[in-house]
Structure 1
Amino acid sequence: MDFDELWKWFEDRPKWLQDCARRLIEKGLLLQKDYIDLLVICKDEAIGKNVNFSGIPEGSLALQESTKPIRLESIANISGINALCSDKPLDFGKEPICIIYGRNGSGKSGYVRLLKHACGVKNPGNLLSNVFMTDNQPHTAELTFTEEAKKKSSKWSGEPIAELRGIEIYDTACGLVYINKENEVAYEPWILYLFTQLTEACTNLASRINEEIDGMVSSKPDFPSEYETTAASIWYTNISESTTQSEVEKKTAWTSADKEELNEMNKRLIETKPSEKAGDLRRQAHSIKELVYDLKNLTKSFKDPKCNEYIKAKKDALEKRKVADEDAAKVFSRAPLAGIGSETWRLLWEAARKYSNEYAYKTQVFPYVTTDARCVLCQRKLDLESIDRFVSFEKYIKGELQQIALEAEQKFKTSFELLPDVPTAEMITIRIEAARISDQDTIAMVTKYAKKIAARKQTVLNACRMTDISALPGKTALISLVQIARIIYKKARSYDQDAAGQNRPKLEQRSRELKAREWLYQQRQTINKEIVRLTAIKQLKDALDLTNTTALSRRKSSLTEELITNAYIQRFHNELIGLKAKHISVDLEKTRTEVGRVYHRIFLKNTNVDVGTMEILSEGEFRIVSLAAFLADTEGRGSKTTFIFDDPISSLDHVYEEVTAQRLVRLSMTRQVIVFTHRLSLVGYLTKYAEKNKIKSEIVCLSCYRTGQVTDLPINLKRTDKAVNDLLNKRLADAKKAFKNGDDIVYENVARSICIDIRILIERMVEMDLLNEVVRRFCEEVNTKGKIGALAKITEEDCSFVDEYMTKYSRYEHSQSEEVIIPLPPPNEIESDLNEIKRFIENVRSRNK
């Protein structure tokens, strides 16, 4: 294999996948923290951020698959796993093959489920706590194992233990996978297993990303159905992550003008007499135009030329009157009273003239100063001095300077009268209300406009020069009024069109568009949130694309053709032959490669119809075929890890059972084999063929009373020498203690149990020692080779010894008469008998060598 080319192939893969491969090469598995880190790298890479990652070190792909031997030592400190108790560790011993024996319900399957989860096998199943207890304890255990002669211990709490992932476990569930489904091969060279792990990492990250995507629920409301097909509705439907903020602001804009237009549309749609409405609007517009006209004329009256003319006339009149007054002061300096020639005095003189001409002396020229004349003011006769004064007054009044002053004053008066009256605030308000102007800004501007003109007039009246006059108002108010009038005229023309009956469809469509836009404006914040959501989803989907397994599947498939398939199928056939099942018409073939995994299936050969394998095979055939597939699968590994079997032959007949035991013993020559079983026949076959191959085996017994509790082996599974020593050293000591303490009930229970086991020991002694295992229970063959000579050495004393002790100790197992109860022997008698039996076993074994 060209590892340099493969290394370059990895360099073209996503950065997160390169980092993932490096972690797997260095550690062998991914933990929760690794997945969190890789997810961050994947997301950052998807949005184009600079990511901090470490790729595969050059040359590391050429490493060979690990061949480190692994063997399980023990399981201890179990908590929260089925009903398993943890008083004593389950010790697998030091021998190549360990048999865990226990009846149904003793906890064998619980241990196997724990091991399946701890070793990270496929399809581990559910791991339950004790369903009969209320407290739900966490799953924990401590597993001890040896790797390359180095003892290690790992506290397991749910995650697979990296070093134990190579351990293979066969049970009923595994058998169903091998028969019913396309199974992924377990044997994979190091590099292919790396691809499997990378595929699992892709699936894990994809699941996490999809979970995030599913959690991003849209809060975007449905567009109101009554506004469908509007431009706003179409835009809203097509909102995506590429929709810009400026586009949102533009499409969701809603101004006062839009609101006014919508109100106008609604008014026009509900108007029943559009012609009358048009006339009313024109009258309103005309009122506004008249107001504008009057304000313009008022403004013209106070423009600078007019004001300048007024100030000039005022100044001229004042100056000329001053000259006339100065002249009068000279003429009348000796007058007894002051003020002659003043404005007030002139008014008095003119009033006297008018009175004389109209009442006193109608036919005489004023002033009438004959001798009989009287003063028109005081009614007294005029004396000569008074006559002279009257004549001089009149002469003064008709003098040139006085006439010039009067003319100037008249001109000023005319200018004053030309200044128009400025309407009061109340009058302006009346005009505004009459014109039905509702815009408050416009009303304020018009009112201010009139106030400025009134102020200008006041300053004009008081001013002596142009700089003293306040400024005229600007044209803003008038322009606003003109615009309002134009809008109203436009509305009037619209109502004219409405009256013609050809404009309603357009009105309705425009009203819907405006209402749709108003709804969009109300949803602006929600729309912005939706765009943020869609952007995040787009980024997550881009990250999801980086977890695609197609490239991994294709690459692994090409490597698999060379490294796995042909060898795997050949191993399957070899296993069938070895298990004496070649006559079963089945075969194995590769089917497909998917998501970085290679699949095979077991199928029936030479069938006319497509039928499932399980529908044809018997249960025994199913077991042996699935076992062959399992062994073919796992024997391809280069590593020497533990094999665990959970009752693999419970449905096989004695032929399949025996060859399976032989196969398991052969496996134990190269690696540790652990068998969980409840069948004594299998225990017998395993120990038999282990002895034949000079392989030591160890049997561990599980209690049927305390689930998972390791207990002493039953006597029928022990060697006779070990059984007699256990009775002497352990159980008899308990009997002695009870006997010494006078506890008769306890003694009877213990002693009776010992007596019954002595009877079983004698039976085993005959089978194993006296008959030298020539004939054994659970074995169909008679084993004569190297053994049958021991039968000729059996003496009459041997037979008498067996007969004596069999008779004596059979009495305690059988029912006894209430009248004649046989008492149990005392401890010293039992001890003496056991020592005799021990010596007998030693003598027979010594004789048979």
Structure 2
Amino acid sequence: MKVETATSQRIDPRDLLSEWANSSDEWVRYIVRHVLTGAGPLSSDEAAEAYALFRQEKAFDSRELPTEEPLATLESEDEAIEPLTLTSVANVVGVNALVEGGVIEPHAGLTILFGENGTGKTGYSRIFKALAKSRTADVILGDIEAPSPKQQSAEISYTLGSTTKTYTWTGGQGIAPFTRMSIFDSPSVSFHVDDDLEYVYVPAALALFNHVIAGIKSVQSAIDQAAHELRSGHTGLLSRFTRTATVYPLIETLGASTDLEHLKSFVDTGEDVDTRVAQLRRTVAALEADTISAEIKIQQRVERVLTQASNAATTLADFNTDAYSREREALHGLQKDYRAFRDSLFEAADLPADPDDTWSAFVTAGKAYEAHLVELGVHDIDRCLYCRQPLDDAARGLINKYSEYLEDKITADITASKVRLDAFGERITSLEIRDAATFAAEYDDTDDKPDYHLELDRTLLSVATITKQLQAGASIDSTLTESATTDAATLNVVLTSTTSALKELRKQAATRTETLATKRKELVELEAAAELGKSWSLIEAQVRDAKEADRLTLLAKPMPGLLRAVTGLAKTASDQMINESFDALFTEECAALRAPTLDIEFVGRQGLAKRRKVLTGKHKPSAVLSEGEQKVLAMADFLAEARLAGITAPVIFDDPVSSLDHRRINEVAQRVTLLAETTQVIVFTHDIFFASTLLALMETTKRCAYFQITDEEGKGKITRATGPRWDSLGSIKKNINETIQAATSQDGDARAALVRTGYDWIRAWCEVFTETELLQGVTQRYQPNVRMTNLPKIKADALPDAIETVNRIFEEACRYIDGHSQPLPTLGVSPTLGGLETHWAELTAARTTYINADR
């Protein structure tokens, strides 16, 4: 099924790249030249030099690198790959629950690994998938029931060309040269049917396009990085300027479009600029200190203190001590006359005690109570106000004297005199001097007293002394007010001066706010102008860098076009080198496997060759095809891809015929055996018909090895065998011996049941022995043909004795199993343990005799 592909008219991909590079910039030719000569990607140094050439070619840097001359056509080289052949897989440890000690020795042709589900086949297939890093490789676990997991490992023996090698696998994935192995399994079906797949094999010449794309992208990345660094390399410049400065927006938007001449007009480069800045800072600091406000508060307090002191001194000066003394003496005279009148008036009143102030209060209270009763209309003039007894003439006369006493003119004069005396004293006692007293007290223990402290202290002392005298009703010392007029004048002068100074301070405070704002603005502008001069080299560098970044960004715009151009070249080359060949191979495989007919679309992006399968109407195959059709379609895609490179490594199939009918199984088997004629093929399967078909197809060439995988002595037990069976003599022998052993320890019905089970296994042993050894596998269950080549192996002379023993015991066993009806005479006859043991011994002896015959 090999496809011969014509190459005489093909264009070498190297020529395509060379012609394209010769029409491009020098730095592009540099990349292509190094990719073609090195047959691989650019090194980091070469990528850096490509970017350096780009900068020099575009006049960012001075030219130092040599001119990149046009490329000549390069001679193509054949890709030689040494064939890989697996020779053994042994010493598997720590993979799932596989038992240790199993050995697989794959044939150079076909190797069949047959086992039922759950016997351990998957563990071995996972090792191959990990080595190849197949698309469906998954995580390999250890024995989850083991107390502690073991380190995964396996010994892989192989030949590479003519060299024999061994590799110790420790769980890694994607190990060369095993990555060349092709693996097909059920999970990969969806990839091969629906996905846009990249080719596993890419010719070295075609891979050059990817390397060129990577080189261009490295230059593109370097351009982007340089532009980013140029735009962000002076981020600290803006912090040097105050936001309110006129030039701040210009610095904030500093870039390629900045008018440097206009910005330079704001620069102050005077030699004394630092001195002027320092002076202006001191001025602003003084204005910000706000000493005027503090002085205003001080002067406001002094003004308040002087106002209180001046009022007090003026009041003292106006206080007439003589008039106060005369009024006081007059009051004393009135009070003396009042007492004399009271004594004479009540001399014959037979009072219990001499009338005094307490008695006067009693009389006054009675008069008030009488007025109250009159107001209520309940006053009885014939009764006493206090005891409510009828009044006689003597009592009524006494009450009249009370009225006469209260209405006496002397009492009214006394009251009037007291009012006048209170008016004299109130002017002094009502003075507000607390702030003045507190202020004066603060200077008691200091030497730095105010100029007016004598007048202030004297005034406060006089007010305090006179207040005490007034409250005591004592005479007033006239010397306390002698200097009051002078003190008032002095304090008033100081008060006037303080008020005038306070007014001036308030005026200055109002203008200070405006001055501070002006000076602050001047300082901001001067500092910005000075900083402009100091930072001018950085400003020019930032503008220059911004212009360079803009140029780099502009020159980077054609990069996507360059990448698309290389992708177009890669697609042209891949169409010629891969897609056309793949299309032919895929068509062949579909015909061989009777897969559905569909279209293949070849997709190329970023230099990658991909393929996509679609049915009519652009439907995905999985949406239309059956599961079996999808599987053979996937296998056709898999085999075409494997053959595309020329298969040089094992091809592995893991359960390739699940969900297929017998006809398709036969077709897949024929395709696998055809592949095994020239390639090492390993097949994992649990399908007995598929395994038997493969063995029958390989009967002629003998390029086949068959291994049975069982879980009889642990998961993944490997046994070399001749063909698949559901039963083996070894497994049945084990079951017979275990059943006899169990029956020995039982009695009654339990023993009888075990003996019948033993005869059931005896019957199965007879069938398998007849198939595999008496008849040498000439005809076997699940084999599609009669193996006539094995007919001479039958030992005809030894057959009669063996047949007699096997047939007799077989019929005896049939009597005791439930699957056969019994005649009435024997229905009640039960087998015995001794009989079972005897029959088993006879069969064992008959087999030994037959095997040893003709030796």
TM-score (norm 1): 0.51
Separation of aligned partners in 1, 2:226 and 2:111 = 47
Partner residue, 1:589: 600
> Are the structure 2 counterparts of residues 623 and 233 from structure 1 closer, same or farther at C-alpha, using a change threshold of 3 Å?
farther
Map Cα deviations across residues 617-641 of structure 1 (whole Å, 9 max, x no partner): 2211111111111112222232432
Match of 2:77 among 56, 63, 70: 63
Contact kept in structure 1, 2:111 and 2:704, CA below 8 Å: no
Partner residue, 1:476: none
Partner residue, 2:438: none
Give the RMSD, CA atoms, in angstroms. 6.7
Letter in 1 for 2:571: S
Shift of 1:51: 11
Map Cα deviations across residues 516-558 of structure 1 (whole Å, 9 max, x no partner): 989x99xx9xx99xx99x99xx99x99x989996565333322
Partner residue, 2:661: 653
What SS does the corresponding residue of 1:175 show, helix, strand or coil? Answer: helix
> Are the structure 2 counterparts of residues 566 and 60 from structure 1 closer, same or farther at C-alpha, using a change threshold of 3 Å?
closer
Partner residue, 2:302: none
Match of 1:46 among 34, 47, 51: 51
Separation of aligned partners in 1, 2:247 and 2:222 = 38
> Are the structure 2 counterparts of residues 807 and 178 from structure 1 closer, same or farther at C-alpha, using a change threshold of 3 Å?
same
Map Cα deviations across residues 551-577 of structure 1 (whole Å, 9 max, x no partner): 653333222222222332232222222
Contact kept in structure 2, 1:177 and 1:183, CA below 8 Å: yes
Match of 1:804 among 785, 805, 808: 808
Q: Structure 1 unaligned runs (5+)?
A: 26-34, 274-491, 844-849
Partner residue, 1:145: 158
Contact kept in structure 2, 1:579 and 1:659, CA below 8 Å: yes
Partner residue, 1:670: 678
Letter in 1 for 2:592: G
Number of aligned residue pairs: give it: 566
Contact kept in structure 2, 1:716 and 1:760, CA below 8 Å: no
Partner residue, 1:600: 611
Separation of aligned partners in 2, 1:259 and 1:601 = 78
TM-score (norm 2): 0.50
What SS does the corresponding residue of 1:66 show, helix, strand or coil? Answer: coil
What is the 5 A alignment of 1:202-213? Answer: none
What SS does the corresponding residue of 2:177 show, helix, strand or coil? Answer: helix
Match of 2:180 among 135, 157, 166: 166
What SS does the corresponding residue of 1:593 show, helix, strand or coil? Answer: strand
> Are the structure 2 counterparts of residues 773 and 575 from structure 1 closer, same or farther at C-alpha, using a change threshold of 3 Å?
farther
What SS does the corresponding residue of 1:564 show, helix, strand or coil? Answer: helix
Separation of aligned partners in 2, 1:591 and 1:172 = 24
Partner residue, 2:117: 104
What is the 5 A alignment of 1:343-742? Answer: 507=521, 553-581=567-595, 584=596, 586-605=597-616, 607=617, 610-691=618-699, 694-701=702-709, 703=711, 706-707=714-715, 709-712=716-719, 717=724
What is the 5 A alignment of 1:755-766? Answer: 760=764, 762-766=766-770
> Are the structure 2 counterparts of residues 818 and 209 from structure 1 closer, same or farther at C-alpha, using a change threshold of 3 Å?
farther
Of 186-195 and 677-686, more deviation after overlay is shown by 186-195
Separation of aligned partners in 1, 2:180 and 2:44 = 27
Map Cα deviations across residues 633-678 of structure 1 (whole Å, 9 max, x no partner): 2222324321011112212122222211111111100100011223
Of 557-566 and 769-778, more deviation after overlay is shown by 769-778
Separation of aligned partners in 2, 1:757 and 1:614 = 47
Contact kept in structure 1, 2:601 and 2:613, CA below 8 Å: no
Separation of aligned partners in 2, 1:506 and 1:230 = 13
Shift of 1:601: 1.2
Separation of aligned partners in 2, 1:130 and 1:236 = 66
Question: Is residue 821 from structure 1 mapped to residue 833 from structure 2 by the alignment?
Answer: yes
> Are the structure 2 counterparts of residues 820 and 106 from structure 1 closer, same or farther at C-alpha, using a change threshold of 3 Å?
closer
> Are the structure 2 counterparts of residues 207 and 806 from structure 1 closer, same or farther at C-alpha, using a change threshold of 3 Å?
farther
What is the 5 A alignment of 1:741-820? Answer: 760=764, 762-767=766-771, 776-778=780-782, 800=804, 802-807=806-811, 820=832
Shift of 1:192: 2.9
Map Cα deviations across residues 424-443 of structure 1 (whole Å, 9 max, x no partner): xxxxxxxxxxxxxxxxxxxx
Separation of aligned partners in 2, 1:710 and 1:204 = 53
Map Cα deviations across residues 269-294 of structure 1 (whole Å, 9 max, x no partner): 99999xxxxxxxxxxxxxxxxxxxxx
Shift of 1:264: 6.9
> Are the structure 2 counterparts of residues 210 and 713 from structure 1 closer, same or farther at C-alpha, using a change threshold of 3 Å?
farther
Percent identical pairs in the alignment equals 18
Separation of aligned partners in 1, 2:15 and 2:49 = 27
Contact kept in structure 2, 1:7 and 1:61, CA below 8 Å: no
> Are the structure 2 counterparts of residues 223 and 834 from structure 1 closer, same or farther at C-alpha, using a change threshold of 3 Å?
farther
What is the 5 A alignment of 1:91-240? Answer: 91-122=104-135, 124-126=137-139, 141-156=154-169, 158=172, 160-192=174-206, 227=243, 231-232=247-248, 235=251
What SS does the corresponding residue of 1:556 show, helix, strand or coil? Answer: helix
Contact kept in structure 2, 1:770 and 1:790, CA below 8 Å: no
> Are the structure 2 counterparts of residues 765 and 589 from structure 1 closer, same or farther at C-alpha, using a change threshold of 3 Å?
same
Letter in 1 for 2:179: R
Shift of 1:156: 4.3
Partner residue, 1:291: none
Contact kept in structure 2, 1:95 and 1:698, CA below 8 Å: no
Separation of aligned partners in 2, 1:177 and 1:117 = 18
> Are the structure 2 counterparts of residues 136 and 647 from structure 1 closer, same or farther at C-alpha, using a change threshold of 3 Å?
same
Shift of 1:615: 2.0
Contact kept in structure 1, 2:85 and 2:649, CA below 8 Å: yes
Separation of aligned partners in 2, 1:769 and 1:123 = 42
Partner residue, 1:351: none
Partner residue, 2:851: 838
Separation of aligned partners in 1, 2:237 and 2:217 = 34
Separation of aligned partners in 2, 1:263 and 1:702 = 98
Contact kept in structure 2, 1:14 and 1:546, CA below 8 Å: no
What SS does the corresponding residue of 1:577 show, helix, strand or coil? Answer: helix
Letter in 1 for 2:111: C
Partner residue, 2:379: none
Partner residue, 1:430: none
Letter in 1 for 2:833: I
Shift of 1:98: 0.9
